[in-house]
């Protein structure tokens, strides 16, 4: 009976839903809730004293007999490092078990999620807890072990965005979908392929790359012949169709219903699974080819709600994505400083989009329903490696294992380098190229953890590889010459806000966490890290004196900064965080002290008079 019960639990997706595991996942998420809501000044814990080297705090719910007591240290950028074991919930005067969903309800008059959005937000919180419990049960590799792990093993161990509270909600997946398609749970799987009629679908690629070349590489001659035979049996001509990969979930849950008429009329034909096996990546709709790692990544539309967006893919963006990638790639390859830093990009070399005529006719405004079927092919990072080098997602630098041990200090220890030298090398690979794109080319990326791949040599970063170019790059200057097809990446930004992408995506979303990890677990004081950041900025400025005017105009050493409030954005609209036409019209965290301002040598020397 026990064996039968265990097998049934596994089949039903319940094996990891156990009381002790759930409580651990709950405490981890409540710790993050308090820390990130307090960081964005949504919640205001009150200082009550000091104990054993920690400050003690209480967080009280308005009008309710509910309090959370905990120990914490507040570090730079208003970062709350909370002792998870110290968290105690008091309800009606008695100790109570923490409950993450109840926490949202208890404090929502301060958090401010609308009645319309609250149920879906709670569903995302529940989904995030479900995934956390899975990781705590199954992905228990220690940080010391991950130091020596492969690229895809590290990828599947990551726990999601460090700032967003519900970062792995995946609303739309059921328990079986989770086990098949979630990055931390999925085994190798094939993609489905459809035939898409030329009258509905459009293929676009970088110069010199044809549809035939892409399909020949990705499918191989035998599979192409099999797919052509399927069309022939239906009395259709393969010359009139594109072969297009789709996410299996998308086919069964969206395409079969939304595109039924096109299927019935032969504009869309399901061809079946391809032969290659893939692994879902952190970004969930992107797949890494396990059968042949030199083949392209494949990114597909996926109509689930996850971390602020329905993860669809726009056919309109697909038309211009290769041109945008060509421009970014050309600038990168022609810029000697970027080459010196080792910076490179993974081009999205080919795309395909399928237009649903009915939704196009019915809907004048932007809608996920118009973006349910598209795909792109992105270069693999394997071609960027030299012998002996390894790949690692930059999200790994923020990773904490299931026992609470951080990966970053283990990496530095395994490298044999002094921490100062390791940090300086990392900043050379990561920060300097971003500074150069900003100051020399008026361009910013979304360089968060999963969007960036580090090339490691003996556990030391030697170059940074940026991906997700077509949807995440912005040019903030009207005078920058762009190809006609790349015009959509140009955005109008008030002058006083142009540094915010760097301060949000780099300082607040990456460096804040690295500084805290090194401070708490690496015997490396946070001021030491922020001084290294300041030194890196100064060194870049000294290397580029011709950009002196821009350094003063877009100053990274201002005493106070106001990064974007990512959770504030998700609270306002958990289906669309940003408006691409006005991406800077978003709430902020509130003003906080800039941790590099104290190291501004130029300001101290009268540089800015």
Report how far apart, in Å, the C-alpha atoms of 348 and of each of 368, 378, 470, 541 are: 22, 4, 7, 31
When pLDDT is averaged across residues 368-378 and rounded to a whole number, the result is: 96
Cα-to-chain-centroid distance, residue 512: 16
Tell me which architecture the domain covering 15-132 has in CATH. 2-Layer Sandwich (3.30)
Query: Which of the four pLDDT bands, split at 50, 70 and 90, describes residue 609?
Result: very low
CA atoms within 13 A on the CB side of 388: 6
Per-residue confidence (pLDDT) for residue 4, from 0 to 100: 40
pLDDT of residue 447: 94
Residue 58 is predicted with a pLDDT of 98
Mean pLDDT value of segment 588-605: 84
The gap from C-alpha 303 to its chain's centroid, in whole angstroms, comes to 17
In the chain, where the domains are located: 15-132, 188-378, 385-559+594-607
Q: Please state which CATH number belongs to domain 385-559+594-607.
A: 1.10.510.40
**Tell me, what's the pLDDT at 291?**
98
Nearest to 354, CA basis, from 372, 368, 376: 372
Tens digits of per-residue pLDDT, 436-464?
999 999 999 999 999 999 999 999 999 99
- Which pLDDT score is estimated for 364? 87
State both tokens at 407: 């990966």
Question: Which stretches of 457-559 are DSSP H helices?
Answer: 469-472, 500-501, 512-521, 526-543, 548-553
How far, rounded to the nearest angstrom, does the alpha carbon of residue 144 sit from its chain's CA centroid?
24
Contact partners, residue 316, CB within 8 Å, separation at least 6 = 353
pLDDT per residue over 20-36, tens digit each? Answer: 999 999 999 999 999 99
According to the model, what pLDDT value does residue 3 have? 44
Tokens for 314, please give them.
């726009």
pLDDT in the model for residue 421: 98
In this structure, are residues 206 and 325 in contact, taking their beta carbons and an 8 Å threshold? yes
CA atoms within 13 A on the CB side of 283: 21
The most distant pair of C-alpha atoms in the chain lies apart, rounded to whole Å, by 79
Rounded to 10°, the helix 526-543/419-441 angle is 40
The CA distance from 37 to 47, in Å, is 16
Of 41, 276, 254, 288, residue with least CA distance to 183? 288
- Residue 331 confidence (pLDDT) above 60: yes
CA of residue 220 relative to chain centroid, distance: 32
Mean pLDDT of 545-573: 95
SS3 letters across 245-304: EECHHHHHHHHHHHCHHHHHCCCEEEEEECCCCEEECCCCCEEEECCCCCCCEEEECCCC
Q: Measuring CA to CA, how many Å separate 154 from each of 118, 238, 285?
A: 33, 40, 18
Cα 455 from Cα 464, distance rounded (Å): 6
Best CA proximity match to 291, nearest among 152, 472, 90, 450: 152
User: Would 15-132 and 385-559+594-607 be classified into the same CATH topology?
Assistant: no
Q: Find the mean pLDDT for residues 331-352.
A: 98
> Per-residue pLDDT tens for 201-253?
999 999 999 999 999 999 999 999 999 999 999 999 999 999 999 999 999 99
580 pLDDT more than 80 = no
Residue 11 has a pLDDT of 62
Average pLDDT, the chain: 94
Report whether pLDDT(605) > 60. Answer: no
């Amino acid at each position: 009976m026990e064996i039968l019960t265990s097998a049934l639990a596994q089949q039903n997706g319940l094996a990891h839903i156990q009381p002790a595991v759930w409580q651990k996942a709950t405490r981890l998420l409540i710790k993050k809730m308090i820390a990130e809501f307090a960081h964005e000044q949504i919640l205001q814990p009150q200082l009550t004293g000091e104990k054993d080297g920690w400050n003690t705090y209480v967080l009280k719910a308005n009008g309710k007999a509910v309090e959370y007591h905990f120990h914490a240290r507040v570090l730079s950028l208003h970062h709350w490092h909370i002792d998870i074991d110290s968290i105690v919930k008091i309800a009606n005067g008695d100790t109570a078990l923490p409950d993450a969903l109840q926490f949202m309800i208890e404090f929502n008059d301060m958090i401010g999620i609308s009645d319309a959005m609250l149920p879906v937000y709670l569903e995302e919180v529940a989904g995030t807890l479900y995934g956390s419990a899975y990781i705590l049960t199954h992905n228990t590799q220690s940080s010391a072990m991950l130091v020596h792990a492969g690229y895809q093993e590290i990828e599947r161990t990551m726990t999601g965005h460090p700032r967003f509270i519900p970062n792995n909600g995946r609303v739309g997946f059921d328990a079986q979908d989770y086990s098949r398609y979630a990055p931390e749970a999925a085994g190798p799987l094939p993609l489905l392929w459809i035939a898409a009629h030329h009258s509905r679908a459009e293929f676009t690629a970088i110069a010199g790359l044809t549809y035939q070349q892409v399909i020949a590489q990705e499918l191989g001659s035998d599979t192409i012949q099999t797919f052509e035979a399927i069309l022939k049996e239906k009395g259709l001509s393969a010359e009139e169709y594109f072969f297009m990969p789709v996410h299996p979930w998308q086919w069964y849950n969206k395409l079969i219903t939304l595109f039924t008429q096109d299927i019935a009329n032969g504009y869309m034909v399901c061809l079946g699974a391809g032969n290659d096996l893939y692994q879902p990546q952190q970004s969930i709709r992107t797949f890494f080819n396990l059968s042949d790692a030199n083949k392209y990544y494949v990114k597909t539309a996926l109509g689930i709600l996850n971390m602020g967006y329905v993860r669809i893919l726009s056919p309109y963006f697909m038309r211009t994505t290769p041109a945008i990638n060509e421009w970014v790639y050309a600038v990168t390859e022609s810029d000697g400083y970027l080459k010196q830093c080792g910076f490179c990009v993974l081009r999205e070399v080919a795309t395909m989009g399928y237009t649903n005529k009915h939704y196009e006719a019915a809907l004048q405004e932007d809608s996920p329903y118009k973006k349910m079927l598209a795909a792109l092919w992105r270069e693999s990072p394997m071609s960027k490696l030299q012998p002996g080098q390894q790949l690692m997602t930059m999200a790994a630098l923020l990773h904490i294992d299931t026992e609470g041990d951080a990966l970053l200090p283990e990496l530095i220890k395994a490298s044999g380098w002094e921490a100062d030298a390791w940090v300086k090398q990392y900043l050379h690979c990561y920060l300097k190229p971003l500074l150069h794109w900003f100051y020399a080319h008026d361009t910013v990326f979304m360089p968060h953890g999963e969007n960036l791949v580090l090339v490691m040599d003996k556990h030391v970063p030697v170059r940074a590889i940026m991906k997700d170019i077509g949807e995440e790059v912005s040019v903030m200057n009207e005078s920058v010459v762009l190809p006609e097809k790349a015009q959509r990446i140009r955005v109008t930004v008030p002058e006083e806000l142009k540094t915010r992408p760097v301060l949000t995506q780099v300082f607040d979303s990456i460096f804040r966490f690295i500084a805290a990890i090194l401070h708490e677990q690496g015997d490396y004081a946070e001021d030491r890290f922020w001084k290294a950041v300041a030194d890196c900025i100064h060194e870049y400025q000294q290397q580029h004196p011709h950009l002196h005017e821009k350094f003063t105009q877009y100053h990274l050493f201002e005493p106070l900064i106001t990064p974007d409030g990512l959770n504030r954005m998700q609270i306002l609209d958990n289906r669309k965080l940003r408006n691409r036409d006005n991406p800077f019209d978003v709430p902020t965290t509130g003003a906080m002290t800039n941790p590099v301002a104290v190291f501004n040598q130029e300001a101290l020397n009268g540089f800015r008079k």
